A and B are shown apart, each in its own frame.
Chain A
Amino acid sequence: MIPARFDYHRPGDIAAALAILGEHGDEARVIAGGHSLIPMMKLRMTDLAHLVDLQDIAELRDIAVEGGTVRLGAMVTQHDLIASAELAQAAPLVREAALQIADPQVRYCGTVGGNVANGDPGNDMPGLMQCLGATFHLVGPGGERTVAARDYYEAAYMTAREDDEILTAITFAVPSGGYAYEKQKRKIGDYATAACAALVTMEGGRCTQASIAMTNLSDVPVWSEAAVQALVGTGCEADAIGAAVEAARADIDPTEDNRGPVDFKRHVAGVMIRRAIERAVSRA
């Protein structure tokens, strides 16, 4: 459990960080909270010559809610997400999900940017950001570009980010309606056996907007358009929710691991999706 030798860099701004990445190419990786990267390095499954620590870059630490848009700097920790009154007001779904990640010690270090950028299918924030329809901001040598969270994930640990880019911020529109994040895990600190984020807006007894996304049920987070279609326009009665659950379940592709075999995961996914939608509807 001891990593191989590496050089440690601690730039003070994004330009400096990009310069280090530019110099060393795929020999270098940025580190945010380190909860994924450091274990991989200790197991010598990742061999890096240069580690670029982003913690001194102050501009990556802001939470801002302005003009109906929420902006989260990449180095905002899970703890910051929970502690922010402004965010709890604007997007309580984020706080509810963050409280279900790991434990307080991990949440003091773990960042939202690291959580979404890495492409680990076990992480909670990627599914959550798909549910919120968030946009990821990537800064590289050619400046900034944006990628929709729903387009960012290609396969496990494979994302739209280039080696010389840094994910600097996440933005999303302040969500409306009811919300819920339902997660089953074996114990504190574990990844989800199955988890589901749901947003449902009801007007005059009719669902006008919905968003359903799932965590750790495929090699990428899964946003289910079919589940949304099954809900929008209905009164979210039992039949409609049942149809949405089945639609969402059709979009997942879980694999067997120590949490259990595929049939179990599919079943539990259905339970989590149903509970998330029902609770979101009850709050809508």
Chain B
Amino acid sequence: MKDLPDSQERTVALKGLGTSRKRVEDARFTQGKGNYVDDIKLPGMLFGDFVRSPHAHARVKAIHTEAAMKVPGVLAVITARDLEPLGLHWMPTLAGDKQMVLADGKVLFQGQEVAFVVATDRYAAADGIEAVEVEYEDLPVVTDPFKALEPDAPVLREDLAGKTEGAHGPRRHHNHIFTWEQGDREATEQVIAEADVVAEEMIYYHRTHPCPLEPCGCVAQMDKVNGKLTIWGTFQAPHAIRTVVSLISGIEEHNIRIVSPDIGGGFGNKVGAYPGYICSAVASIVTGKPVKWVEDRMDNLMTTAFARDYWMKGRIAATKEGKITGLWCHVTADHGGFDACADPTKFPAGFFNICTGSYDIPTAFLSVDGVYTNKAPGGVAYRCSFRVTEAAYFIERMIEILAIELGMDAAELRRINFIKAEQFPYHSALGWEYDSGDYHTAWDKALAAVDYAGLRREQAERVDAFRRGETRKLLGIGLTHFTEIVGAGPVKNCDILGLGMFDSCEIRIHPTGSAIARLGTISQGQGHATTFAQILASEIGLPADSITVEEGDTDTAPYGLGTYGSRSTPVAGAATAMAGRKIRAKAQMIAAYLLEVHDDDLEWDVDRFAVKGDPERFKTMKEIAFAAYNQAIPGLEPGLEAVSYYDPPNMTYPFGAYVCVMEIDVDTGQTEIRQFYALDDCGTRINPMIIEGQVHGGLTEALAIAMGQEIAYDEMGNVKTGTLMDFFVPTAVETPHYTTDHTVTPSPHHPIGAKGVGESPNVGGVPAFSNAVHDAFRAFGLRQSHMPHDHWRVWKIASGLGLHG
């Protein structure tokens, strides 16, 4: 018989799946010993920085660089005219559009890169920038996507004149980028026409920004002796960047090395390619010296990848009992001056067609119009899978509005429309196959945990007290049940610039029974070095503490599409498990040889192969590892290595149930989160402590977005929120306490059943906070008020409802 306590002890010693293992990364981060891009200092390194446009739309008449060239330390001022002979004055975007690297005749948004000043240090570069004189001629500015589509709107993209076909089909207007349609228009319109009840509303998810702690930057070094270009940069997808650099520069791919060192948060901001990368590389090629470019905070907020800016017009139809029969949605998507969205190529609006959410909606239709405006380009997935947070916010607001229309409790309306556990795998009306879920169980658990009925009673009493003049505070109960779609994705329909969205892991077991695993992803704080070692520990029976995880160097790591869209665990995590299984398969053959039995006579026991029925005869993985390097085993190659490229058969669909309880002062518009309960179901849980940390961080970003964070423009296209004074990033003081909880519904198609969690709290958190604000005013007639819910906008709701007497 197996010795169970011994087996449990050995399992614990591995620190594998399900262990709250401390993050191995934190030793260096908490001691200030991380190695970020700006920590890289190379001999002779130069510094480059941009002259940026103060105008949102202007013709560039002339650029005078003579005075700048006289500034001590300034070596070069690069303009579009210098890049043009190299074909690098424009670059392709991930969305099939192209973008100016440096202003080519005009500028399209405030902060756009106009010239690149290269100097001996960043102080000289700053002086040089001030000395560059640019002559501009103002052009009419359009910051409203609806106005941009009017017939007489100014032409923003003169380079596209006469082009009626874009990367995603026909363009019907000079500022129109694409129209993307999903679902059945005719059937949906019919369902809406015949419905008992239809709720219609415009839901705006405002423009915001991922604002990682570390902004974007790079160091480019062209080694003229061996012809190799190395770029250290803040890249969420280093391998894809290498391929893109090769394609646009003509440098052979083996002569390009991309390294992502420690990255201080990405949240989608560091997926795309920016002019700074191109200009630094060109400057290094020209000067033969390493060139660094690092954004400051204002550059980051004003110019590199924003998120959201979706105007979502919705109609939701239901029977009078509350069964939803159809959903119609039209999105006007503001993409800014260039279409630089970071989405899989065939999905110009990302996975927004997950907008039927957690609900069994039989009929649906979605259309999205992408529009150019005089704002910064971007449209990245800010801590969410592509446009999933927009979709979740849309459906979770529409459900609340339908509940108002029906006079129903919003929790009950959700319950009667959830996809049932037995319906999985579930085919949604907009084309997805949900892998697994048990929404009713999660929902009931969440409502019980917060005493939902008790909260509603308290709220009703509060409304009465308010009406009697006994209090000036209202109570909001914000509900959300979200379903995410993450883990892009199956190569059959997911690619970026033609690169399939698989991912990879390569494992080498060392003779003494430790290992290194390299992956195609790159951690930006997620803790990959901790969690991927845990996956492997459970698969190959070596302690997680004996496994090094390395990512981010394209010369050593296997090819992969990087880390964003919660894809690391679903895709690279699966590759890790599959590579581990290859290791174990070979280990089994080695063990069989050593124990002189047939492979089939062995069974796996935590960290060893034992002879079936004779557990005293075994070989541990440590012993097997050594044997792989010192035994001549007939029919087997020496060594113990494996590589797996994993093409996921489907996306994964994490979900969760969140409840936010909020106090609102109607006189000042101030809000206070009294309670926040977050139940997440991310399938198999690899490291509960890291999951909790991810949920706390994502909820805090969601709080920021819902309650104050925005990139706002005035009518002239000036950014009004370009510093952290006005762009809300919560401190510990503004951050409430969170209660986390979970259910576990494994993904049936993932090797270990894991679904990914990093982005769930942002996706589910935003509607939970926003619904709490709306819910507080429901009794007084509020239907919809756009985010962010900062003090004055909340005050405006109260004022509009006549609550100020």
What's the least CB distance linking A106 to chain B, in Å?
Answer: 12
| Contacts A267-B799, A271-B667 supplied; 9 other A-B pairs, CB < 8 Å | A2-B123, A44-B130, A103-B731, A186-B708, A186-B791, A187-B731, A259-B791, A264-B792, A268-B668
Contact (Cβ within 8 A) A184 B730:
no
Q: Determine how close the nearest CB of chain A comes to the CB of B132; give it in whole angstroms.
A: 13
Contact in complex: B795, A264 (CB < 8 Å): yes
Is the beta-carbon distance between A188 and B733 smaller than 8 angstroms? yes
In the assembled complex, B545 has its CB within 8 A of some CB on chain A: no
A260 CB–B CB distance under 8 Å: yes
A1 within 8 A of B: yes
Q: Hey, what's the 0/1 contact readout for B101-135 against A, CB within 8 Å counting as 1?
A: 00000000000000000000011001100100000
* CB of A25 closer than 8 Å to a CB of B: no
- A216 contacts B by Cβ under 8 Å: no
User: Which B residues lie at the A interface, using CB under 8 A?
Assistant: 122-123, 126-127, 130, 296-298, 667-670, 708, 712, 720-721, 725-726, 728, 730-731, 733-734, 790-792, 795-796, 799, 804
Contact A188 B731 (CB under 8 A): yes
Q: Check B708–A267 contact: CB distance below 8 A.
A: no
A-B contact list, 19 entries, CB within 8 Å: A4-B130, A44-B130, A184-B670, A186-B791, A187-B708, A187-B728, A187-B734, A188-B733, A193-B791, A193-B792, A258-B720, A264-B669, A264-B796, A267-B795, A268-B667, A268-B668, A268-B669, A268-B791, A271-B668
- Chain A residues positioned under 8 Å from B126 (CB to CB): 2, 4
Which of the residues B127, B667, B708, B792 comes within 8 Å of A4, measured between beta carbons?
Answer: B127
Interface assignment of A190: CB less than 8 Å from any CB of chain B: yes
The 3 A-B residue pairs whose C-beta atoms are closest, nearest first, are: A260-B792, A2-B126, A1-B296
Residue with the greatest number of chain A CB neighbours at <10 A, chosen from B122, B792, B796 = B792
B-side contacts of A5, CB under 8 Å: 127
Q: Is the CB of B804 within 8 A of A267?
A: yes
Chain A residues with Cβ below 8 Å from B796 are 264
Shortest C-beta distance, A180 to chain B (Å), equals 16
How far does the alpha carbon of A187 sit from the alpha carbon of B667 in the complex, in Å? Answer: 17
Looking across the interface, which residue of chain A has its beta carbon closest to that of B726? A258
Contacts of B667 in A (CB 8 A): 267-268, 271
Interface residue? A12 (CB, 8 A): no
Residue pair B731, A260 in contact (C-beta under 8 Å): no
Write the nearest CB–CB distance from A265 to chain B, whole angstroms: 8
* Secondary structure dominating the interface of B: loop
Taken residue by residue from 22 to 51, chain A's Cβ proximity to chain B (1 for < 8 Å, 0 otherwise) reads as: 000000000000000000000010000000
Total chain A interface residues with beta-carbon distance under 8 A: 22
Report whether B790 and A186 are in contact in the complex, using a CB–CB cutoff of 8 Å: yes
Which residue, of A4, A103, A193, A261, has the highest number of chain B Cβ atoms within 10 A?
Answer: A193
Q: Provided the pairs A4-B130, A103-B731, A187-B728 are in contact, do residues A258 and B795 lie with their beta carbons within 8 angstroms?
A: no
Which residues of chain A are within 8 angstroms of B668 by Cβ–Cβ distance?
A: 184, 268, 271
List the A side residues contacting B730 at CB < 8 Å: 187
Q: Which residues of the other chain, B, contact A189 by a CB distance below 8 angstroms?
A: 725, 731
Do A258 and B712 touch (CB < 8 A)? Answer: yes
Q: List B contacts of A187 (CB < 8 A).
A: 708, 728, 730-731, 733-734
Q: Are A261 and B127 in contact (CB under 8 A)?
A: no
Report how far A271 CA is from B728 CA in the complex, Å.
24
Whether A2 lies near B122 (C-beta < 8 A) is yes
Q: Separation in Å of the A139 CB from the closest CB of chain B? A: 33
Residue among B130, B708, B725, B726 facing the most chain A CB atoms (10 A cut-off): B725
- What A residues does B728 contact at CB under 8 A? 186-187
Inter-chain CA distance A45–B4, complex, in Å, is: 72
Tell me the nearest residue of chain A to B725, going by C-beta: A190
CB distance from B91 to the nearest CB of A (A): 26
Minimal Cβ-Cβ distance residue in B for A2: B126
Max chain B Cβ within 10 angstroms of own Cβ: one of A4, A44, A103, A187: A187
Bound complex: CA of A263 vs CA of B799, how far in Å? 10
Closest Cβ of chain B: how far from A213's Cβ, in Å?
Answer: 20
Bound form: Cα–Cα A258–B670 in Å: 15
Of B667, B730, B804, which is in contact with the most chain A CB atoms at under 10 Å from its CB?
B667
Q: How far is the CA of A263 from the CA of B795 in the complex (A)?
A: 10
User: How many angstroms from the CA of A259 to the CA of B725 in the assembled complex?
Assistant: 11
CB distance from A123 to the nearest CB of B (A): 14
Task: List the B residue with the shortest CB-CB distance to A3.
Answer: B126
List residues of chain B with CB within 8 A of the CB of A267. 667, 795, 799, 804
Return A269 CB to nearest CB of chain B, in Å.
10
Q: A187-B730, A188-B731, A188-B734 are in contact. Are A268 and B127 (CB under 8 A)?
A: no
Nearest Cβ on chain B to A252's Cβ, whole angstroms: 16
A44 neighbours in B (Cβ, 8 Å):
130
With a cutoff of 8 Å between Cβ atoms, the chain A residues found around residue B669 in the complex are: 264, 268
A267 to B804, CA, bound (A): 9
Enumerate chain B residues within 8 angstroms of A268, measured Cβ to Cβ. 667-669, 791, 795
A188 vs B731: C-alpha distance in the bound complex, in angstroms? 7
Within 167-203 of A, Cβ neighbours of B (below 8 Å) are at 184, 186-190, 193
Residue among B123, B130, B668 with the most chain A CB within 10 A? B668
Assembly CA distance A186 to B728 (angstroms): 8
Give which listed residue, B297, B734, B790, contacts A1 with CB less than 8 A: B297
Give Cα distance in the complex from A156 to B84, angstroms.
47
Q: Is the CB of B721 within 8 A of A258?
A: yes
A2 to B296, CA, bound (A): 10
Q: Are A184 and B804 in contact (CB under 8 A)?
A: no
- Chain A residues with Cβ below 8 Å from B298 are 1
Residue with the highest number of chain B CB atoms closer than 10 Å, among A2, A190, A260 = A2
B589 → chain A closest CB, angstroms: 61
Interface string of A138-153 (1 = CB under 8 A from B): 0000000000000000
Residues of chain A within 8 A of B708, CB atoms compared: 186-187
Known A-B contacts A103-B731, A186-B790, A190-B725; the reply to A260 vs B795 at CB < 8 A is: yes
Residues of B within 8 A of A2 (CB): 122-123, 126
Measured CA separation A44–B127 after assembly (Å) = 10
Q: Please, which residues of chain B bring their CB within 8 A of the CB of A186?
A: 708, 728, 790-791
Q: Let me know if B791 and A260 touch, CB within 8 A.
A: yes
* CB neighbours of B670 from chain A (8 A): 184
Contacts of A271 in B (CB 8 A): 667-668
- Given the complex of chains A and B, what is the CA–CA distance between A189 and B727 in angstroms? 12
Chain A 253-282 interface 0/1 with B at a Cβ cutoff of 8 Å (1 = within): 000001111011001100100000000000
**How far, in whole Å, are A190 and B728 apart by their CA atoms in the complex?**
10
Q: Give the Cβ gap from B711 to chain A, nearest Cβ, in Å.
A: 12
Q: When chains A and B are docked, how far (Å) is the Cα of A258 from the Cα of B720?
A: 8
The residues of A that contact B733 with a CB separation of less than 8 Å are 187-188
Least CB distance from A278 to B in Å reads 13
Nearest-neighbor residue (CB-CB) of A193 within chain B: B791
Chain B residue at smallest Cβ distance from A264: B792
Q: Which residues of B contact A190 (CB under 8 A)?
A: 725
What separation, in Å, do the CA atoms of A197 and B791 have in the docked complex? 21
Q: Which residues of A contact B734 (CB under 8 A)?
A: 187-188
Contact (A261, B792) CB under 8 Å given A187-B734, A190-B725: yes
Question: How far apart are the CA atoms of A206 and B731 in the complex, in Å?
Answer: 43
> B668 CB to closest chain A CB, in angstroms?
5
How close is B559's CB to chain A, nearest CB, in angstroms? 37
Contacts of B720 in A (CB 8 A): 258
Query: Complex Cα distance A103/B297, Å?
Result: 20
Give min CB distance, A68 to chain B, whole Å.
37
Least CB separation from B126: chain A residue: A2
Interface-centre pick from A44, A263, A271 (highest chain B CB count, 10 A): A271
A223 and B328 CA atoms in complex are apart in Å by 56
The answer for the CA separation of A4 and B128 in the assembled complex, in Å, is 10
Tell me the bound Cα distance from A189 to B296 in angstroms.
20
How far in angstroms is the closest Cβ of chain B from A209?
Answer: 28
Chain B residues with Cβ below 8 Å from A184 are: 668, 670, 791
> Min CB distance, B480 to chain A, in Å?
24
Report the minimal beta-carbon distance from B667 to chain A, rounded to whole angstroms.
5
Assembly CA distance A2 to B790 (angstroms) = 32
Residues 232-263 of chain A: 1 if any B CB is under 8 Å from the residue's CB, otherwise 0? 00000000000000000000000000111101
Q: How far is the CB of A228 from chain B (nearest CB, A)?
A: 24
CA distance A1 to B215 in the complex (A): 14
